[in-house]
Chain A
């Protein structure tokens, strides 16, 4: 539409040389492509091409040094039928997701609720609670975490539990806690969602005799459910891909006794330690498919529990 607006006067002025009708359109599109090119190139070169290569590699035996050798489905067959450590990494990751995601969301929601009703110093606390999300993804914090939960570390001294990171039953919890601690992003989103809920709803509920808990269940939760859903999907996807904390706390090997050997860590191990890039690529594609499937399932269940205010209008 805008194309015609711009091209019309131009065509009018250049009467001396007859201009074919389509040319102005091209001229107008050119700059658009120029400005878009970094992103288009980025998507092609940095995303689509590597994905295609990785898909190809997943059907090969590739040791990083020699040319890939086509092996068909062997990597996938080996993964599902001959590799007990693969299944251990799957179970570890699922356990981690089930521990970390609900804990993190509950904490984020709790803090958001507390902050919402806060009168003074809100800005400070919001920043303070958000800070771990910025810092926590770094290796250095993960190493500090390892030191805190290590044999003779702070937690050991305070609680006398011994080092968590050296106990197969506890190490994964230390990894999860590091993620849970970084609840800043979902918290900010919750806070935004909470501030969208009209105050009249609470007033009406209070008039009807609803207490705080009842108000929370009957007003806050349904009104917040789209935001809750958004956070749930996002954090679940992230949790499936956890790597840094597990890498640092499991000393790069998923130890002790493979208890922190999450999926991406085993993928890294196969690819870069054992030099089986083909196998690692196959693992990556299975992870992609599983994350897609889990997200689809979450979307499906959302129909029964996510409430959009606009639905009532229709």
Chain B
């Protein structure tokens, strides 16, 4: 028996185990000396937003030498899952970025602090009352809107111009949009757009363009399987023509601009929210422009201004005052606003917005101009979606996967979705 060999083997195996252990135990240095208050601040976004956020946070730390802020961010899908896990474990971050779709669930689950109690350090006087109310549930202010956003068709300007297809104007209907995408595909050989069929947001715009809505006032489903079948038949038809991205690319969408067909240079346009569209610049240096979302055939606009995202404070935070100070800084500090620009949407604080708007540069300017173009023409935002919607967003994308991979017909998938949605909203 090879005894001497075994020793060598053991040594190398032990070395490997050690490597694995060292690799596993790295990171997470929570310890902090000098008795500083440590705040955890988490958010979702892209590298562009990360860079600006880090700068703003550094300024906050300079102004508050007793506070240290640990930030972390990820793409939207991953963030959503991680935050839910942390919140459930009673380990919610001190300050967290929240989506319209999360407010209801998080607030009703006692994850969020009542921010009215921190009035002394967190000023809300200069925020539009209607906008501020979107962060309220049953009269309690659980979150503060951080910016105003709306959906947009972001497109590669250079590629579109070169194709010779007329650039999009101030408004278009869904059929005009589809025709433009067809023309683009024909001229450039690339799909004109990301397949919008996977996006619950795009579906909502389409639905509102027909005077309907995703949810009824009492939190039920606002549309029928027939509506969804028509939407998916429309988008699936475009996919079969090759006018929108193929299933292999659509399935990879996870809320980050990097994984969109436009971001990978495999399509000419993408439907997205206006603020994250700034992330496209790093991927398409030749420039990105914004066009409005298509409207209903009679011109009814489907898109709306919504609070782009919120800031909330964890109910279990050990430092409610400092956490509220950070929220106040991010929303009401002019220097912070200058650094952050429009990366989370146009600022909500009225005087800050007025002070900032003329100074906005580059893509922030583009977003401001885009929103100015829509000002006054859009309808009121819907109320915050019921808590079941958080899961349904993913279900929507999954069910459309079945359509785009041709495993189900649009009507089968729509029936599936409606059945699940009804169960989800009931519970």
Contact = CB atoms under 8 A, between A and B. Distances in A.
Interface residues of B, number: 48
B85 A272 contact: yes
Contacts of B247: 166, 256-257
B17 interface: yes
B169 interface: no
Interface string B401-421: 110110100000000100000
A253 B109 contact: no
Contact of A122 (B2, B84, B105, B391): B2
B8 A168 contact: no
Contacts of A66: 108-109
Interface string A269-284: 1001111110000000
B394 interface: yes
B272 to A, nearest CB: 18
Interface in A140-172: 151, 162-163, 166-168
A164 to B, nearest CB: 10
A123 B8 contact: yes
Contacts of A82: 423
Contact of A127 (B16, B80, B394, B423): B16
Contact of A64 (B12, B78, B88, B252): B88
B110 interface: yes
A255 B401 contact: yes
The A interface is mostly helix, strand or loop, or mixed, namely loop
A50 interface: no
Contact of A65 (B13, B109, B407): B109
A130 B12 CA distance: 10
Contacts of B88: 64-65, 272, 275, 277
23 contacts: A64-B88, A65-B109, A66-B108, A66-B109, A78-B423, A122-B2, A122-B9, A126-B9, A127-B12, A127-B16, A134-B20, A151-B248, A151-B249, A168-B407, A251-B251, A252-B78, A255-B401, A256-B405, A257-B405, A269-B394, A272-B84, A273-B391, A275-B391
Interface of A: 61, 63-66, 78, 82, 84, 122-124, 126-127, 130-131, 134-135, 138, 151, 162-163, 166-168, 195, 251-258, 269, 272-277
The 8 A-B residue pairs with the shortest CB-CB distance, nearest first, are A65-B109, A274-B391, A64-B88, A166-B248, A127-B12, A123-B8, A257-B405, A256-B251
